[in-house]
Amino acid sequence: MNLKVCRNGKLSRRVSYSAILVMTLIAVGLLSGCSDNKDGQEPPQPPPPVKHKLEKGKECLSCHKEGKENAPIMKHPVQGNCTGCHKPLIQ
């Protein structure tokens, strides 16, 4: 009888120890997983402002469709009024 109790006690102590270990590992995994997700998920970005002068008569797309004159290529589809979203910093 005594021996059995002793064994059970040892067993449950071992179980709870490993349970804590497993829970710690899961918690650490979840935490790092969350931060990984934040990085990978690409939160919605605000439209970057236009830092260059707006050249009258020049279509935004004439440069930004194919990246002429080192213009960053527009990654999104053509949508609405460019300057409605991309506020010019210099007039």
Taking CB under 6 A as the rule, does residue 6 contact ligand HEC?
no
Taking CB under 6 A as the rule, does residue 57 contact ligand HEC?
no
Taking CB under 6 A as the rule, does residue 43 contact ligand HEC?
no
Q: Which of 2, 37, 41, 79 binds ligand HEC (CB under 6 A)?
A: 79
Angstrom CA distances, 51 to 25, 58, 65, 89, 91, stand at 47, 16, 17, 5, 9
Q: Which stretch binds ligand HEC (CB under 6 A): 5-13, 19-27, 32-40, 48-56?
A: 48-56
- Distance between CA 2 and CA 57 in Å, rounded? 95
